[in-house]
Amino acid sequence: MILSTNLKHIASRDEHAKTLAENENVMVCCGRMGPMCIPVYGVMEQLQSQYPHVAFTDMAFDHPEADVIRNLPEARGFMGLPFVIYYKNGKVVEAKSSIQSKEQIIEVLDRVF
Amino acid sequence: MKKKTYDAIIIGAGAAGLTAGIYLSRGKASVLILDTAIPGGQMILTHQVANYPGVPSTSGYALSQTMKEQAVSFGCEVESNVSISNMILDADHKQIEVNNDSVYTSKVVIIASGGRSRMLQVAGENELKGRGISYCATCDGDFFQDKEIAVVGGGNSALEEAVSLTRYACKVTIIHEFDHFQAFDHAVEAAKANDKINFIMDTHITSFKGKDSLESIEYKNLKTGETQSMALDGCFVFIGYQPNTEFLKRTGVELNSRDEIMTDEDLQTNIPGVLAAGDCRMKKVRQITTAVADGTISGMKALEIIHR
Ligand SMILES: Cc1cc2nc3c(=O)[nH]c(=O)nc-3n(C[C@H](O)[C@H](O)[C@H](O)COP(=O)(O)OP(=O)(O)OC[C@H]3O[C@@H](n4cnc5c(N)ncnc54)[C@H](O)[C@@H]3O)c2cc1C
């Protein structure tokens, strides 16, 4: 189960762990191909070249192993797709839920990475 | 600064802007379409479009991508996720500065910036958006399985979505500011016939409360002034629409009291060479079909101005 985006897909718990181990800065957008998620993937695809030091990735929300995102303490109380998690050196440094604009995403990227 | 001149610049790549682009580029005009987000506009927010003639039920996203591909195939340039830093519209050569690094000029500008869902603008709404407060039932409904939720609004969207949310929620309270609904009778009847739905009329929500997620609301009866609170897990807001016209405030483009762009029958604004199309302008029916019609009319008028 993967999403149809041009982002790097995380398709399992192992791939999630490997991505965090291999990259200092990781942004994961965990969602569906739905109205609130598609605009966020679009912004991430566009920002990839501008932020080469960040791994822009996605994960299908309904994948059983996406519980690595769904069950994060930082996502407690989230009730809106997508769940967007920012990791630095494997640690969650920011977590957002629901649609985000390009400005809101850039604000987080510039602040945490 | 990067500089480039086009025959026409279109602001907004929704149904109206993309259609105007298709007509203009097929008419051999050079066209740039700018969008602050990704192309598609509100079509992307629509899970299923069943009333676009000639197209059997499809996803709004798929329809928007086809429209975009069509516009690009005829020669339109599309720049997405831009930010417009400056605009001069009341000159023969309109000038639009983008991302503080590019200046585009054109003879004609079509504003097709559409609209967005209106927020309640009450305490706690911003903080709890995505944490119990939602504006999209199809996106977030399944987070509210067996939960108690409210739906705010009295139009067709509010009543239809309230009924659809009863698939998940155990109780849905519709909160509306008047003593009657604006929705069609069949939508009101369907909501009234559903025993999971109850109603609080003449009421405004005054605040949302919650730590990690929404826990309760405070609301006020507008007739008696009485204030109460209610424990809730979720709240869906469908209180209508707001045109995306804030960015025009200092450009001289005339807006009405609802901030919609005023146009004549050819969709020209008060500024020569500046047209408006789609949901951002003053009109009664806001649908993909009417946005597409506006795109056609404004595109044709723009061609006339370009070749004048
Ligand atoms: C949930 C939902 C369901 C709907 N269902 C249906 C349906 O089933 N059938 C139907 O016919 N209609 C439906 N509609 C209505 C329909 O989607 C709209 O009427 C139509 O898409 C409007 O098109 P538009 O091009 O005028 O505006 P929009 O689609 O709003 O597009 C405007 C574009 O302009 C961009 N923009 C905004 N400001 C700026 C700026 N300053 N600079 C540059 N770009 C900017 C936006 O990012 C957007 O891409 C629905 C609407 C919603 C919200």
Q: Is residue A37, in this structure, part of any structural domain at all?
A: yes
Rounded Cα–Cα distance for residues B223 and B216 (Å) = 22
Closest CA to B168 of B135, B146, B196: B146
Q: Is the CB of residue B86 less than 8 Å from the CB of residue B92?
A: no
Q: Is residue A82, in this structure, part of any structural domain at all?
A: yes
The residues spanned by each domain of chain B are 2-116+241-306, 119-237
Q: Is residue A84, in this structure, part of any structural domain at all?
A: yes
Is the bond preceding residue A82 a cis peptide, omega within 30 degrees? yes
- Joined tokens for residue B303: 């061609």
CATH of B119-237, one of 3.30.450.190, 3.40.50.2020, 3.20.20.70, 3.50.50.60: 3.50.50.60
Q: Is the CB of B113 under 6 A from ligand 1?
A: yes
Q: Is residue A3, in this structure, part of any structural domain at all?
A: no
Whether residue B129 lies within 8 A of chain A, CB to CB, comes out as: yes
Mutate to test the interface with A, among B36, B44, B126, B127 (most CBs of A within 10 A): B44
Q: Is the CB of residue A74 less than 8 Å from the CB of residue A45?
A: no
Given this chain, do its domains B2-116+241-306 and B119-237 carry the same CATH topology? yes
The residue segments making up the domain with residue A13 are 8-112
- Measured in degrees and rounded to the nearest 5, phi and psi for residue B144 equal -115, 30
Rounded Cα–Cα distance for residues B124 and A72 (Å) = 23
CATH annotation of B2-116+241-306: 3.50.50.60
Sequence-distant (6+) residues with CB within 8 A of A47 are A54, A56, A102, A105, A106, A109
Q: Is residue A2, in this structure, part of any structural domain at all?
A: no
Q: Considering only the beta carbons, identify the residue of B80, B136, B234 that sits closest to A46.
A: B80
- CA-based nearest residue in chain B for residue A47: B81
> Over its length of 308 residues, how does chain B's per-residue pLDDT go in tens digits?
899 999 999 999 999 999 999 999 999 999 999 999 889 999 988 878 888 999 988 989 999 999 999 999 999 999 998 989 999 999 999 999 998 899 999 999 999 999 998 999 999 999 999 999 999 898 899 999 999 999 999 999 899 999 999 999 999 999 999 999 999 999 999 999 999 999 999 999 999 999 999 999 999 999 999 999 999 999 999 998 899 999 999 999 999 999 999 999 999 999 999 999 999 999 988 999 999 999 999 999 999 999 98
Please list the residues that pair with B255 across neighbouring strands. B261
Whether residue A81 lies within 8 A of chain B, CB to CB, comes out as: yes
What is the residue whose two structure tokens read 């995505």? B130
Whether this prediction's pTM lies above 0.90 is answered by no
User: Do A35 and B129 lie within an 8 Å CB cutoff?
Assistant: no
Domain tally, chain A? 1
For the sheet with B148-152, list strands across it: B133-134, B234-237, B148-152, B171-175, B197-200
Q: Is residue A1, in this structure, part of any structural domain at all?
A: no
State the CATH number of the domain containing residue A35.
3.40.30.10
